[in-house]
Amino acid sequence: MKSVSYRSSRTKKVSNKGTPKLNAPAAGDNIGNGLRNKWPNTAKEMDDMLGVPGRNVPDGPKTPGRGKVVWEPNKNTKIIYEQHLYHRNAPDFHKKPHWHLDTPGNSHQRYLPGENIPGQTFRLK
């Protein structure tokens, strides 16, 4: 299986003259002062950011390889990490690991590793 990294375009050096360098922080980068505000690449990094381990949800017969992990850091917030490799015709962002965020009035928002976490910064442990 070919290993594809969606981080590669982010870290690639851009040589075009006149084009600003891509220097946005990658997932997991420290943004200064020990704070982080990007969705991480792995469930383990989220454990570290929240300071509590996520709850592993076993794959079902129709969801092999989903690898779902759930965090509920407070009663209004639910964070899900998963991937849907079994949806063969789905776009990459669905088949690769991604995050969902449930907050009151905003259910099941979807984010990719490296995107900003809305309204949040986490102090690194």
Please give the residue ranges that form the binding site for Zn ion (CB under 5 A): 82
Tell me how far, at minimum, the Cβ of 112 lies from Zn ion, in Å.
Answer: 11
Tell me how far, at minimum, the Cβ of 75 lies from Zn ion, in Å.
Answer: 22
Instruction: Give the amino acid at 23.
Output: N
Nearer to Zn ion, 42 or 121 (CB): 42
Nearer to Zn ion, 21 or 108 (CB): 108
37-49 burial string, b = 16+ CB within 10 Å, else e? bbbbbebebbbbb
Nearer to Zn ion, 20 or 60 (CB): 60
Nearer to Zn ion, 31 or 86 (CB): 86
3-state helix, strand, coil in the chain (%, to 5): 15, 25, 60
Tell me how far, at minimum, the Cβ of 83 lies from Zn ion, in Å.
Answer: 7
Angle (nearest 5°) at CA 118 between 41 and 63: 45
Ranked by CB distance to Zn ion, the top (closest) residue is 82
User: Do β-strands 55-56 and 35-36 pair in parallel, antiparallel, or remain unpaired?
Assistant: unpaired
Burial class (CB in 10 A: 0-12, 13-18, 19+), 97: buried
